Amino acid sequence: MAANSPQREGVRKTLLAFLALVPAIATAITGFLAWQVSSEVESVRVELNRIESQRAFDLEIYRAVKEALTGSAKDQQVALALVVSIGQEPLRSALLGTLEEAPSASPEIVAQARSYRITEKEAESRPQSSAAGVPAWSDWDFDLFYCEASPSCAKDQADQLANAIVADGAQGRIRVRPLSASKNREPLYRIDGYALYGGENEGAMAQKLAAFAQALGNGGIPFEVKRTSQRSPWYISAFLCPDSGV
C-alpha cells in the first residue's frame, strides 16, 4: 500500500492540475463559439445587405429601361448598354427580352438586344442549311416593318409575306410591325421602298427572303438587300415602305 502512495499522489496532482485548467478551457471554448456565431451572424448580415443593395440596383435599371422605351432611339441605346454592362441574371435576360419585344423599340435596338440574348453556343446548335447550301427557315426570326405613311398595300404585303414564310416552314418568331412616319424621318431610317437588312452572317438568309418575296403573287415584293454592321444572329429585319414620302 505504501508503495502505491507516490503513484496515487501523482495522479491526484495531475487531476488537480487538470481541474484547475477547466475554467480556462471552458472560457476559451465559449469565446471561440461566441466568435464563430458572431462571424456567421455578420456573414448573414453582409449577405442580406448585398441582396438588398442588388435589388435596389436592379430596380433602378428596370426603371431606366422602362423610361427609355418611351424615349428616343438614343435613350434606348443607353438603356441597352446599361443592361448589358452591369445587369445581372436573371434580370439581364428579362430586360433584353423586354427591349426585343417592345413595340416602341427601334429595329436597331431589337436586333442588338436579340444578339446579346442569344449566345453563340445556342446559335451553333440550330440547323443552319438545307439542300444545296440554301439556308432553311428553321427558327429564324423576322420583323416585317411596314411604313404607316405608305399606302395600305404595305401592310397587306407584310401580312402576305409573313403568312407565306410560315406556310413554307418557318418556325421562328415572325412579326408584322408598324413604322411611324416620325420614326422613319430619323437619320437611322429614311426608308422609301423595300429593304432587307442582315448582318455579316445573315446575308444568305436575306438573299433567300428577297428571292422568296419576289416570287410571291401580284408581281412580288422587290426587296433590296442591304448589309448592317450590327450583330443580329438568326434575325432579319425587312422594311416595306413604298411611297413613304421621306
- Out of 68, 94, 117, a domain closes at 117
Domain that holds residue 227: 125-241
190 shares its domain with 104: no
Share of the chain above pLDDT 90, in %: 24
49 shares its domain with 68: yes
Number of domains in the chain: 2
User: Does some domain include residue 246?
Assistant: no
pLDDT value of position 92? 75
User: Does some domain include residue 34?
Assistant: yes
The string of pLDDT tens digits covering residues 15-41 is: 666 667 677 777 777 777 777 777 666
Contacts of residues 76-81 at CB distance under 8 Å and 24 or more positions apart, as own/partner, are 76/105, 76/106, 76/109, 77/108, 77/109, 80/109, 80/112, 80/113, 80/116
DSSP assigned state of 103 = T
* Confidence band, pLDDT 50/70/90 cuts, at residue 148: very high
For the chain, how many helices (H) and strands (E)? Answer: 8, 5
Q: What would the mean pLDDT of 230-234 be, rounded to a whole number?
A: 73
Is pLDDT of 147 > 80?
Answer: yes
Q: Which of 108-117, 127-136, 143-152, 223-232 has the highest mean pLDDT?
A: 143-152
102 shares its domain with 214: no
- Out of 88, 117, 146, a domain closes at 117
pLDDT value of position 122? 55
pLDDT value of position 223? 94
108 shares its domain with 143: no
- Out of 101, 117, 133, a domain closes at 117
